[in-house]
Amino acid sequence: GAGVSQSPSNKVTEKGKDVELRCDPISGHTALYWYRQRLGQGLEFLIYFQGNSAPDKSGLPSDRFSAERTGESVSTLTIQRTQQEDSAVYLCASSLAGVYGYTFGSGTRLTVV
Amino acid sequence: GQQLNQSPQSMFIQEGEDVSMNCTSSSIFNTWLWYKQDPGEGPVLLIALYKAGELTSNGRLTAQFGITRKDSFLNISASIPSDVGIYFCAGQLFAPYNTDKLIFGTGTRLQVFP
């Protein structure tokens, strides 16, 4: 597609429920990244994919967080047993490997109540 | 997670004024980038720096990659209302494995008054 697409744009969930956030990167972009942005804060790195493998998962905050990527395209970030501190905007970005300056999606705003 | 120190946190300026913001790190980076984020959107790349000491301009924007590789600044000249937003610096770490991962600053919120 023309840009990075994320869905849903907004998600409200009850504490303890699982959520799945989806990212469609720019076609042909082999690198894909997930970041978290809490209200009024900067971006925290979560995980990096090169193709379908994730050589860097160092930013995932706990084992409740997982992500996968299939077909060197779509990626899904899953948060299990959501907690209120998980409330944030989750941003996805993609790039051609070795090319700096990713393209970001508009994010999914997650609210855990 | 790790974040860079960015200052100032916020700025309130009059249209036409120049703006300066900077970013410092305890780690060495091989690339510095500056992004702008509008409400409800993801960050958009403004300018990229690839070499220590490099000074790069993009229209009214000028950015420099510090000679120590641990800092960068961004200047905006003759500010206009559409400059309003949050500006983030980002650095790419030297890493034992190639992740192209960016570490972001804490952001500078810019407000421009007519």
Is B42 in contact with A105 (Cβ distance < 8 A)?
yes
Sign of the CA dihedral A58, A64, A69, A74? negative
The whole-number average pLDDT for the span A75-104 is 90
Contacting residues for A101 by C-beta, under 8 A, at least 6 apart: A95, B33, B45, B48
More confident residue, B102 or B20: B20
CA B110 – CA B78 distance, rounded (Å)? 13
What pLDDT sits at residue A72?
85
- Contact yes or no for A35/B103 (Cβ under 8 A): no
Is the CB of residue B85 less than 8 Å from the CB of residue B101? no
Residues of B in contact with A106 (CB under 8 A): 40-42
Tens of pLDDT, residues A52-78: 999 889 999 999 999 999 988 999 999
pLDDT at B96 over 60: no
B95 falls in which pLDDT band (50, 70, 90)? low
> What proportion of chain A, given as a percentage, has pLDDT over 90?
79
Q: Do B48 and A101 contact (CB within 8 A), yes or no?
A: yes
For residue B114, pLDDT over 80 is answered with yes
Average pLDDT of chain A is 93
As given in the structure block, the two tokens for residue B71 are 């800092």
B→A contacts (Cβ < 8 Å), by residue, are 1-4, 6, 31, 33, 40-45, 48, 50, 88, 90, 92, 97, 99-107
Quickly state the pLDDT bin for A82 (edges 50, 70, 90): very high
What is the per-residue pLDDT for B98? 55
Q: Average of pLDDT values for A41-53? A: 91
Q: For A11-34, what is each residue's pLDDT tens digit?
A: 999 999 999 999 999 999 989 999
Q: Is residue B84 scored above 90 in pLDDT? A: yes
Sheet holding B19-24, edge to edge: B5-7, B19-24, B71-76, B61-65, B55-58
pLDDT of residue A97: 67
Nearest-CA distance from A27 to chain B in Å? 18
E-strand stretches of A4-102: 5-7, 10-13, 19-24, 31-37, 43-50, 53-56, 65-69, 75-79, 88-95
- Looking at residue B88, its pLDDT comes to 95
Q: Is 90 exceeded by the pLDDT of residue B59?
A: yes
